[in-house]
Every structure is written in structure tokens, then in C-alpha cells.
Structure 1
Amino acid sequence: MLSICSSMISSPSPPPPSSAAGTTRSIPGSYGFPLLGPLKDRLDYFWFQGQDKFFRSRMEAHKSPVFRANMPPTFPFFFGIDPRIVAVLDCDSFSSLFDPALIDKRNVLVGSYMPSLNFTGDIRVGVYLDTTEPGHAAVKKFSLDLLRRSSAVWFSSFESNLSRMLSTIESELGQNSSSNFFVPLQKCIFSFLCKSIIGVEPSVSSEVGDSGFVMLDKWLALQLLPTVSAQALPQPFAEIFLHSFPFPFFLVARDYKKLYNFVAKHGAEVVSIAEEYGLTKDEAIHNILFVLGFNAFGGFTVFLPALITTIGRDKTGLKQRLREEVRSHIKSEKGVVGFEELKGMELVWSTVYEVLRLNPPVPLQFGRAREDFELNSRGARYPVKKGELLCGYQPIVMRDPTVFDRADEFVADRFVGEEGKRLLNYLFWSNGPETGTPTVQNKQCAAKDHVVATACFMLAEIFRRYDDYECGDGMDFTKLEKATNTAAAVPGGVK
């Protein structure tokens, strides 16, 4: 399935060379006074301006998509962290982050700050390893093999869990004017990932089956809270209690141990595969939990709600176009979504890509300069020194007007046709271009193709089952109109 779907995104030509000419500029911007500069930038980032305005205002002030600034977390209780970054906010400069010859990815998943290794069993899991480190190739090969083996059940497991989720929402809409889909969706994601990656339904353990997704939510939150905006508390309380210190692992230690034991007991066959790549049992389990919990569960939890609500709130006729395309490609008498059918749904794929462009699951990318080099950006070159930390904010990068026409608008068919395929060279949501391939030589997301194909399959299933749906301002379905075409309404799946 994934090899078939991947063929859709082959680029007609490689990315064009940088347009940067010989003009060399010093990187504008300042880090300010020690302690005060980082603190001011942190308050702007979280409080006075917010993430988007933080980057945009500095880009406008310096008249450059490349500039110096400080990134939180900072003072007072974060030790050994250098908040200084070089922001790279256009496609040209941002693409440098994915060149292993220029960039070291060691311990920079969320910047200079790195959550305690206690959260990953005192092991630096694959995402924290640079491509030059001996352990990286083994973990990446294991991850790629894990995903390859999961392909046999990936979509059938997702379909069955999606069906269960939609039935829950249908039932609630029969009694209320709206139905919040966030928790049912998280249960769906967690269950299908356990089956696909570990090889077992989470329901084999009553505790993990009922609360496993909540355990992962807490585990993720404690690692990321110091680096993300939080709506749970008003300011200044959010700054005092959520952004001023790292959170200790002991708050989720019991839950993590339960998840560890679950994988050790029920995923023994999968864990044993790691031995073929020179990994110990402990290394295998912690890497499996990170791939499942941080990469897959965390990523889908951010991306799929954005996809559902973007289309559910659309008033341009996109839903009708998607429905017509999906049903025109379903040729099976049972009305199921098959691999070949999905491959031909150009608008579905383009819509998914466009949501990824505007709402990347991981908005920030970081990398440290291996050596001195010159960074290309919009007709200029900027000297970067060895060891400097580069930071790209994708919601701005993916709106680069020199690459994308009507860059701030949602254009569902942007990636349709030959010109659309060319633009995929600049869709960087997966820690690399969409036209790239995850290998042991790079840091591109191993599950890149799985993510896009899963999202396309979800859309196809929704428009196979329903004539229309609508979403409210939050994560709510306010309407699910069942398909009037009886063939389309038949419970389906993957051929």
C-alpha cells in the first residue's frame, strides 16, 4: 500500500538550486543582555506576543527571514541551556536544516532544552541521536522494519477503530447538538497504533486498554510543557508554574512502567526483532514507546483534529468535491476503500498536504551547525558559525510567498497536477521534503508515508460513509449526515 501511495509524490524534477547570489550579510538581531534578553524574549514568546507574532515581528523588524533571537525555556531553573538561536524562516534557509553534511541533530528535538532521560529509561532514543552516532543506524533500521511489518494490519486496524469512533459520535449526536471527538479519536489512535506497532490490542490489559492514551498524554505533556504555550492557566500563572522549571519524571513514573511492562509482555515478538539490529531489550522497548507515544500518537493527536475541523468548517464546496471524488473511485461492489482507489484520489491527497502545510504537527525544527558555513536565503548569504543552533518555525516557512502562491490561504487543490507535485519539494512537515525518503543517513520521519496515507484513508472513509459533516469552533462534530447511497453506506474497510 505505502509503496503504491508513495509513487504519487515522485517529483518531476529535483528542487531547484538556491536563488542566493553572492550578497553576504551579517545575521541581524541581538540576544540582549544576559538573563534579561532571554527573559524578555521568553515573555514575548509565551505572553505578550505569542509564538506566531514573536517570529513575524522580528522578521519584519530586521527585514530578513534570518535573524538572531532567544528561544524558551530560559531563566530561572533551566540549567545548562543556551537559549540563543538563529531563526530560519523561508524555504531556502529552512531546507538547510535537513542537510546532514551541514547540520548536527544531536539532542535538539525541542531545541537546546532536552527533557530528562528518565522519561525514556535513561536511554537516548533514536530521535536524539545524530546520523553520525553509531547507534542511529541501528535504531532507524529497526524503526523502518517495524513500520514495514506493521503495514499488513495498519489500515485494517485503523478502519475498525475509526468505525468504532464514528459510531460513538453518531450515538452522541442522536442525543445532543454536538459531540466532542477528541477523546474518541485519541482512543482510536492509541488502539490502532498498539495493534499495528506492538502487535496486540490494548484491551488485553484492562488498565492500558482503558487509560493507556491518558498515560501517554501525561508523559508527553510533562516533557513539552516548558516549551509550549499553555491555555490551562492564565498569565502570569502559566509563566510561573509551567514555563519556569522542568517537570520531574516521578510524576508519571508509575504510568510509564505500566506501558513498559505492557510492551515487554505483549510485544515480545516485536521486541525480539531489535536483536537483529544489535539493540538490547531495554533499548528496543524505550524506542518502541517513543515511536508509538511521541512520534505517532503525539503527531496524529495534533494533525488529525486539524484535518477534520479544517474540512468540517469549510464553506467553499470542498466537502462536496471530496465526496464526489471518493465515491467516483470506489468500484468495489461492497463499497470499500481499496489501495488502488485511494491512489487515484488526487484532491484527497492534495487536501491532506495542504493541511500539513498550514498546520504542521511539529511546528519547530532545530539543528546545530557542524562547521562554519554560509546559509542561503532569498538572494543573500549569511555566515553561520560552528555550534550555532538554527531554529525553523514551519507555520511561517510554509507560507513563504516566493514559493507558494496565495501562501496564507487554504487551497485544497494546491498540490494537484505536475506543478503541485513540484511544490511537494517544499513541504517539510516530516523533518525533510515530502519528496524525500527516510533512510539511516537522514533524520526524516520513518513513518512519513504512513502518516499521509492514513490521513487520506480517514478522509476517504468519512466521505464514503457520510454525505456531509460539520464541525463547531472546538473539536466537535455538529453534523454527521449518513450517505444516502446504500452501497457507500455499507461498513467497509481495506481490500
Structure 2
Amino acid sequence: MRERERGKEREMAETLPLKEVPGDGNDAVGRWPYLGAIEDRIEFFHAEQEFWASRLKKYGSTVFRVNMPPSPPGFSANPVIMLLDLKSYPILFDNSKVDKKDVLTANYMPSLSFFGGIRPCIYLDPSEERHTKIKSFIIDLIKSNANKWIPEIGKAASEIFTVWEEKMAKDGTAELNSECGQFACNVLLRTVVGRDPAAPGEASLGDKGPFYFQAWLGPQLAPISSVGLPQILEEPLLHTFPIPYLTIAPFHSKTVKFFETYATELLDKAQEEYNIERNDALHNLIFTLVFNAFGGLLIFLPSLLGFVGRADESVRQALVSEVRNAVDSEGGEITVAAVHSMELVKSVVYESLRMRPPVPYQYGRAKEDLIIESYDARFEVKKGEIIGGCLPFASRDPNVFADPDTFIASRFTGHEGKKLLHYVFWSNGFGNEHSSPHNKQCAAADFVPFLSQTFLANFFLRYDDYTTDDPKVTGNSQSITYKFTSLKRA
């Protein structure tokens, strides 16, 4: 049956017209690519969503070639073929057709000084031997600490709940983002490393773990991000040349010292069981926990609370009821079984991942001449060209999701709703498939939703209701601040 369906799909695809990819990235300035790239960069950071909408309208296509930041003079100016629909997007997950080597951010890669001189796993293609070893080690770290995650999430959540309540009592409002960063830092280090970052010791991070982490992340992401400064300052300071590692070396050294001192058992395991060189293991561990996990949760958790806090009150009432009934059925404890039984909680998490994925862009380089299919055409791609996906736009594909621009809490509930999980590509792969050492899907593809669901369960055990204000956008789509406007304790 499935083979017949695939055969029909192939026949239909062959009837689509074969076209060249529209756009060359230099429409406005003729043959001078550098000026065109700079103009596109300025427009992109000025109004990101309008940037994509205008080009989609201009080319009449969800597949087109365009300049992506960063761009000259300090960066290359090679246009990227961008995909804005869920039909074409999965080509980025096909390791037989695209190479993932050094294309995390398209044409740009930070200095290896940020990573102790090694290429982290995220910059490796699955065909590289180091990728298999390192990713196997990372997946093992997540699974081997399975019994710690729920209690550590509960402990760290309780700590930031107290801070929020104190701020609400004092000011009538409380900002979400910074405390979510502290939560992520505490959960990750206590669970994986087995060390509280603030515990006294020669390499303690004190209460500055999130600051050190963000100081290291900032220069890596600055050329492709906006922090809300006036463009006259942001363009020359952040988007024109890479920021040197030396500017943050003292902060990064604090993080390195912490892991060198307190993660010795993990580094021993990487050496002895996975044959990973110690410096390689050290900096991949830092990258995984700080760049991938901390950075992603810092963006996603405030967004999750923001979506639910601005939803209809009935959504929060339903979540409260579901969480407390599930926990009661497990004897009053949050257990793995209780979390997995919370269908609406899971749906809310995946709907938030769909609406605002923490990693908005993915890239790959064509390994051979390719044909990419959208809904209305096929497009020729040459070997070596970089292909990218704009996930915040693609994940609102009306061909897959009804009312795609609206947050619908129950979207992924029920039999039909569960089928739609396949199309939530936040983890650089299909939403109902699993990470492995042989693909580029996020090693925490299963863990991030579970952590977020457990966090929400703790939240709605403690609070009967809450509201948040409209988010304050200070830069591009990832630079958003959320605040509580009410917080009602149970």
C-alpha cells in the first residue's frame, strides 16, 4: 500500500515543471554581489519576517536564491537557495544528498579558538568518523542520566518560581528570560556534570554561569543575530566583521575550568569507552551543554510560557486539570509515566516549537546535482551550492497546518493531531523520528520536549493561572523578552 502511494507521489512530482531557482541575490545592484549582500543584510535585520514575505511575493515561489547574513566585507557573499515550505524542506535531512560539514550558519564559521581548536560535532558531517563517536557519547550522556532529570528539573523550577513570586510581589511584574537561563544552567550542570554551578570550589561559577555562557555564545552568533541596537551601530559592530575570541576569552576560560575540574568522570568515559581525545571531549561537552542545550532552552522556555500565558484562560485551566490528574494517578509524584500521559501538555510544547523554533535556520551543501520539489515546481540545484531552510516560515505552511499563524494548544492531540508531529522540524529532522549517531538530528530531539513538559507540569502544580504581556522584540525573531503580568499561586 505504501509503495503504491509513493509511486503515485513520484508520478505526480514528474508532472511538475522543471525550473531554475529564481533570484541570484544581486537583483538590486546588477553584477556587484558585495553591495547586494550588504543591502539584503540591512533589510533582513530591519524586518526579518517582511524580508521573507517580500521575496516570496517577488519570486512567486517558496524556493529561491537570496543573500543570507553574515555578508561582506568581512564575510563571503555567496547566495543561498532557501526553502520556505514543508514539501521541499526535508532535503536538508537527507545525508545522501547534502553535506553538513561546516555549514551550521551557511557561509560562516566562528574561529576554532571558541572551541579549543577543534571542530565541534555540530560542524561535522555524519560521514566523518569523529561525528559518530562524539554523537554516540552525547546521546549516552542524556540517556545515562535518565533517573536524575525529573528531580533536578523540579528542584531548579522551584528555585526560579520563588524568584518570580518575589519580583511579582515587589513590582507587579517579572521578566521570564533571565530566570529561565538560570534554570537551564542549573538543570544541565547538576544532572550531566553532577555539580551545582554555584557550589563553593576552586572552579565554581557562582551565580554567573548564565553570564559566562552567554558571553561565549554572543560573538559566535552576533554576525547572524540582532540585539536591538540602532542599525547605525549594530551593522559595523556586529555584522561587518567577526568578533575576535580574545574579547570573551576570560569568560570562556571560567567555563572551561569548571568542566575540566568537575567533569573528569565524563571525560574519562569519553576517552576509555568512545576513544575520543580528551580535549575533543571537553569542548564538545561544553558545546553540547552550553550552545545546544542552554542556548536553546534560553530561547524556548520563555517563548513556551509566553504562548500559553497569552492563550485563552480555558487553555490554562485544561492544563492545570490534566497535570494534577496525571500526578494524582501516580501517587502525587511527577513521574515519567505521568509526563507521558499529559497529551495537552505535549501538544502545547510542540505547538510552541512549531510557532517559534529555537533554531530558525538549517543548511546543507549539495553533494551532487539535485532536483528539489516544492508544491508547484521542481528546481535544479548544482553540486556544491548551499541549500537553507527558514523554519519559522516553513513551519507555518498552510498546506500542512490549518490556520498556521495561530497558536492552537490542542493541535497535536488525538489520532490526527499526532500524525502532524511528523512535520515539526525543530530538531533538524522529522518530529516523530529519533536522533542517531548517523544523522544530524539534535541529540536531544526526545529530551527537549520531555524537559519542557516536565517543567510545565511543575509549573501547573504550583500555579492555578498566570498571564504574560505581548513580547518585546529587541532585535530579530529570537531576541524577545517576556514578562508575567499575573501569577496566581495554587
Structure 1 residue 414, shift from structure 2 partner: 0.8
1:41 matched residue in structure 2: 40
2:23 matched residue in structure 1: 29
- 1:36/1:172 CA distance change after superposition, 3 Å: closer
2:13 matched residue in structure 1: 20
2:249 matched residue in structure 1: 253
Residues 151, 196 of structure 1: 8 Å contact kept: no
| Structure 2 counterparts to residues 389-400 of structure 1, below 5 A | 389-400=386-397
1:477 matched residue in structure 2: 484
Greater mean deviation of Cα atoms: 453-462 or 166-175 = 166-175
| Structure 2 counterparts to residues 253-292 of structure 1, below 5 A | 253-275=249-271, 276-292=273-289
1:238 matched residue in structure 2: 234
Greater mean deviation of Cα atoms: 283-292 or 180-189 = 180-189
Structure 1 residue 336, shift from structure 2 partner: 2.5
1:298 matched residue in structure 2: 295
Residues 34, 77 of structure 2: 8 Å contact kept: no
2:81 matched residue in structure 1: 86
- Report the residue type matching 1:164 in the other structure: E
Structure 1 residue 331, shift from structure 2 partner: 2.0
| Structure 2 counterparts to residues 94-493 of structure 1, below 5 A | 94-205=89-200, 207-231=204-228, 233-275=229-271, 276-315=273-312, 317-331=314-328, 335-473=332-470, 474-483=481-490
Task: Give the secondary-structure state (helix, strand or coil) at the position aligned to 2:308.
Answer: helix
Residues 422, 430 of structure 2: 8 Å contact kept: yes
- Report the residue type matching 2:183 in the other structure: C
What's the TM-score, normalizing by structure 1?
Answer: 0.91
Structure-1 separation of matches of 2:170 and 2:331: 30
Structure 1 residue 219, shift from structure 2 partner: 0.6
After superposition, the C-alpha distances for 1:363-408 in whole angstroms (9 at most, x for unaligned) are 0111110111101110321111101001111111001111111111
- Report the residue type matching 1:452 in the other structure: P
Structure-2 separation of matches of 1:52 and 1:333: 44
- Report the residue type matching 2:352 in the other structure: V
- 1:448/1:205 CA distance change after superposition, 3 Å: farther
Structure-2 separation of matches of 1:40 and 1:301: 30
Structure 1 residue 110, shift from structure 2 partner: 1.1
Name structure 2 gaps, 5 residues minimum: 471-480
Structure-2 separation of matches of 1:189 and 1:413: 26
Structure-2 separation of matches of 1:466 and 1:407: 29
After superposition, the C-alpha distances for 1:95-124 in whole angstroms (9 at most, x for unaligned) are 110000111000011111001111001100
Structure-1 separation of matches of 2:319 and 2:399: 29
Structure-2 separation of matches of 1:448 and 1:328: 27
- Report the residue type matching 2:237 in the other structure: F
After superposition, the C-alpha distances for 1:11-58 in whole angstroms (9 at most, x for unaligned) are xx99x95763432111111222321221221121113xx221111211
- Report the residue type matching 1:475 in the other structure: Y
Task: Give the secondary-structure state (helix, strand or coil) at the position aligned to 2:380.
Answer: strand
Structure-2 separation of matches of 1:169 and 1:332: 29
Structure 1 residue 469, shift from structure 2 partner: 1.1
Structure-2 separation of matches of 1:201 and 1:39: 45
1:488 matched residue in structure 2: none
Structure-2 separation of matches of 1:101 and 1:379: 24
Structure-1 separation of matches of 2:350 and 2:379: 31
Structure 1 residue 76, shift from structure 2 partner: 1.4
